[in-house]
Structure 1
Amino acid sequence: MIAVISDDFTGAAEIGGIALRNGFSVTIDTCVNANYDCDVLVIATNTRSLCKIEAQKQIKEVTEELLKLQPDFIYKKTDSLLRGKIGDELEVQLAVSGKKKVLLVPANPAMNRTIVDGIYYVNKIPLMESDFCGDEYETGTTSSVLDLIGVDYKAQSFSVSLGQKIPREGFIIGNTPTNEDLMGWANVIDDTMLPAGGASFFNAILRKIKKENTTAVKTMSFGKKALYVCGSNYEPSREVVRKAKQAGGTVLYMPENILCIGDCEEMIENWAGTIVEAIEKNDKVIIAIDTLKCDEVAAVSCKIKEILASVVKKVLGKVSLEELLIEGGATAYSIIEHLEYKKFYPEQELAQGVIRMKIDQKKEMYLTLKPGSYQWTESIWKF
């Protein structure tokens, strides 16, 4: 069995889709249990949203528990744009695993996310000058991968190209200008290394393994009643929701003054009631964030996640859904925590990162996830 630790839920789902694509059976869990019957086990954490101490504590515990299962190897799934506590998490996992070095390949050339001479580019623009530069990065961070991995780890980090000598210890970050480089790095892995990076690097590793008995990917039709939750602040995602509303879709935005009220439970209850009525009438409903007042409120993103999770739980308590679609890893994790869903079985990779899964605790409903910075497949919007 291959084990994977992901730093967010949509990343875990994306890995599940990669496993399906390569003919491997896969289970996604939010904690490590004793018995699994799968080729690939993905543990979905929420460490990208945690502070350093909590993130390292969780990674240490998960790594220790996975090692007891004696997997063939453990892959550390990171954000492809190196957001989050990359160095902090890799440091503790490396120590627990007893490995000498990390081979980190986060790039995804197929999506124009490349690393050339130690600089991260998106659509040939340095990352920190692109549309993806946001408050997830520390102030003063440059587009150098040695900066992006964390200032505390620059002294032990190395930007290396294929064919160059690889240091015996530390964090080796692979230059990846092309898709072919991903397979090149997969062929470099040895027993002294902790492999880490994006879904594309994991795909190259699975292609190298070449599972003989592939599993046919299922084709399924969508159910009738569906709720789509857009928790992403990525502007192209919000624009898609606006266009859906203009085209006549049922879009219900979060009440704009909901953050201004100390106890917003009544407002959440009313919003949930409106959503339930809309689902019963129209079958398919989108909920999203538009304009919110009270800019002075602290920890806005955390409160938004909590409100979305709370309202989804109330809706599911009043109406039966066949499809729940969520955009944004932190939003998705908050929702599944509120709903107490823990184990998932990916069944369809609709597009890169767009994964439809069965839920162990609610078998009559499918869950479909997508990272905020990816695009929904056309089949979702046709549905």
Structure 2
Amino acid sequence: MIVVIADDFTGAAELAGISLGYGLKVSLCLDGSLQGDADVYIISTDSRSMQKDDALQAVKLATQVAVQLQPDFIFKKTDSVLRGYVADELNIQMEVLGIAKALILPANPSLGRTIRNGQYLIDGIAISHTGFAKDPEFAIQSSDIAEMLDHPVKVLHKGEELFMGLNIVSSAASGEEVDQWAARVDACCIAAGSGDFFEALLKRSYKKQIRAGQPFRSNAHVYVSGTSFNKSVELIRYFGSSYTAYIGSSIMNGSRGLDIWAEKAMQILQQHQQLIVAFDETINPSAFEAAHLRLKMAEQVKRLAGQFRIDELLIEGGATAAAIFHAFGINCFEPVYEWERGVVQMKAGDMLITVKPGSYNLPEPIRQQYKLYEDV
């Protein structure tokens, strides 16, 4: 049995999807109240969206829960581009587990996210020159992995023994390299990082299976986009107008326009049985606290659900997902289908929920559903 502790919900869902691909039964929860008989238990702490002290406390409690389950190993899912409190959270985990070493491999070569000579690249471009440089909470200004981590760390080169404390790999540009690093993880080391790293660890004990089954199909479908990632924002802005009810600055600054917005959203749902909820161009993420943006969006989605039966939510952005789940009082999920890497459908009571990271592509069937045909 395996326990994963993830710092946001889309990361947790990504590893749930990978686990499904190996025929493993998965239980995913927002707190320590894990349910069911599972091969993989995943705890999403949402710590990346918290203040630092709260984040460390959440990770400490999750690790204590994990220890009680006596798993074969514990994996720490971090952001693949090292946003958040990665080093501090790992130090807390090492203290609770009594382990003195951690190996961090954040790269996802299968998704074009690689590390070469200590530099992080997105499709061959230095990450500091990509959209991640404008992240409203954790802007990435350097492509050097040690500087990205912003904490004393040993940059580990091929052939070197793991040092005490935090080690981060200097090169992970292919699946073969990721497998080689995974082979060096043992009971004296915490493994932390990306989906590719987690899958490399799974491959040591389990066999990949052919994808089976189909996603569950729903009627009334609401796509909630809480990401600031430019490609996702522009895709909706240019091609999703027929289905979109935008939340603007007047709503964020008070109650003005809420009734008009809700009426438009209901009209779209009634006419099309589908709706996109997104922020409009008047919302500058740097002008609002990210937590306030997420809270307001969650309030409006909850309000819609009180007036119209929503069968499925597609939520873009892990912190947005966590805010919506809190508003709905949802804590535990049964992952059932992986659309594609990082885009996972789950059951939560009577509702279907699909989540995706803002920087990942939208699955083709959903693009077709909303007529989001063009690349931007």
Q: Match of 1:78?
A: 78
Contact 2:27 2:35 in 1 (8 A): no
1:254 aligns with 2:247: yes
Quote the residue 1:122 is aligned against.
122
Q: Is the contact made by 2:6 and 2:44 (CA closer than 8 Å) also made in structure 1? A: yes
Q: Distance in 2 between matches of 1:342 and 1:215?
A: 30
Q: Verify: 1:292 aligned to 2:285, yes or no.
A: no
Structure 1 residue corresponding to 2:321, chosen from 319, 332, 335: 332
What 5-or-longer segments of structure 1 have no aligned partner? none
Match for residue 374 of structure 2? none
- 1:181 lines up with 2:171 in the alignment: no
Find the aligned partners of 1:101 and 1:243 in 2 and give their Cα distance: 48
What is the TM-score of this pair, normalised by structure 1?
0.90
Matches of 1:237 and 1:375, distance apart in 2? 8
Shift of 1:329: 1.0
1:102 lines up with 2:109 in the alignment: no
Tell me if 1:133 matches 2:133: yes
Conserved 8 A contact 1:22-1:211 = yes
Give 1:92 shift: 0.5
Match of 2:373 in 1: none
| 3-state DSSP of counterpart to 1:132 | helix
Q: Structure 1 residues 309, 84: closer, same or farther in 2, change over 3 A? A: same
Counterparts of 2:92 and 2:334 in 1: how far apart (Å)?
Answer: 28
Q: How far does residue 137 in structure 1 lie from its aligned partner after superposition?
A: 6.9
Cα gap change, 1:316 to 1:34, in 2 (>3 Å): closer
Is 2:56–2:88's contact at 8 Å kept on the other side of the alignment? yes
What CA distance in whole angstroms lies between the structure 2 residues aligned with 1:66 and 1:140? 31
Give the length in aligned residue pairs: 368
The amino acid of 1:379's aligned partner reads P
Task: Quote the Cα distance in structure 1 between the aligned partners of 2:160 and 2:286.
Answer: 51
Alpha-carbon distance in 2 for matches of 1:255, 1:243: 17
Counterpart amino acid of 2:225?
C
Residues 1-383 of structure 1: matches in 2 within 5 Å? Answer: 1-33=1-33, 36-135=36-135, 141-150=141-150, 153-154=151-152, 157-162=153-158, 164-174=159-169, 175-211=171-207, 217-245=212-240, 249-261=242-254, 264=255, 267-292=257-282, 298-299=288-289, 301-359=290-348, 362-363=349-350, 365-383=351-369
Cα deviations across residues 179-213 of structure 1 (Å, max 9, x unaligned)?
1111111111111100100111111111111159x
**Conserved 8 A contact 1:345-1:357:** yes
> How far, CA to CA, are the matches of 1:326 and 1:298 in structure 2?
20
CA distance in 1, matches of 2:353, 2:139: 36
Report if the CA contact (8 A) 2:315-2:355 is conserved. yes
Q: Secondary structure at the match of 1:317?
A: helix
Distance 1:128 1:108 in 2: 17
Per-residue CA deviations over 1:17-66 (Å, capped at 9, x if unaligned) read: 00001111101001113653010011011111112211111101110111
Kept in 1: contact 2:335–2:345 (CA 8 A) = yes
Q: Which amino acid aligns with 1:335?
A: I
| Partner Cα distance (1:296, 1:344) in 2 | 32
Q: CA deviation at 1:269?
A: 4.5
Q: Which moved further from structure 2: 218-227 or 131-140?
A: 131-140
Question: Is the CA contact 1:252–1:285 (under 8 Å) kept in the aligned structure 2?
Answer: yes
Distance in 1 between residues matched to 2:365 and 2:78, nearest whole Å: 27
Three-state SS of the structure 1 residue aligned to 2:280 is coil
Name the aligned partner's letter for residue 355 of structure 1: V
Distance 2:143 2:330 in 1: 37
Whether the 8 Å contact between 1:20 and 1:215 is mirrored in structure 2 is: no
Moved more, 31-40 or 336-345: 31-40
CA contact (8 A) 1:34 1:69 kept: no
Q: Structure 1 counterpart of 2:307, which letter?
A: K
How many Å separate the matches in 1 of 2:231 and 2:139? 24
CA distance in 1, matches of 2:64, 2:260: 45
In the alignment, residue 311 of structure 1 is paired with which amino acid?
Q
- 1:238-273, Cα deviation, whole Å (9 max, x unpaired): 121123335xx3111113422333xx2x64344233
Cα-Cα RMSD: 2.1
Q: Which residue type is aligned with residue 352 of structure 2? A: Y
CA shift in 2, pair 1:245/1:293, >3 Å: closer
Measure, in 2, the Cα distance between the counterparts of 1:76 and 1:333: 18
State whether residues 349 and 355 of structure 1, in contact with CA within 8 Å, keep that contact through their aligned partners in structure 2.
Answer: yes
The residue type equivalent to 2:229 in the other structure is Y
What is the CA–CA distance in structure 2 between the aligned matches of 1:381 and 1:177, rounded to whole Å?
30
Assess, with a 3 A threshold, how the Cα gap between structure 1 residues 295 and 373 changes in structure 2: closer, same or farther: closer
Once residues 269 and 98 of structure 1 are traced to their aligned partners in structure 2, the CA distance between those partners, rounded to angstroms, is 54
Unaligned runs of 5+ in 2: 370-376
SS at match of 2:131: coil
Segment drifting more, 4-13 vs 165-174: 165-174
- 1:30 and 1:73 map into 2 onto residues whose CA distance is 20
Residues 196-234 of structure 1 show CA distances to partners (whole Å, capped at 9, x for unaligned) of: 00111111111111159x697431352121110111111
Shift of 1:122: 1.4
Distance apart, 1:297 and its partner CA:
5.2
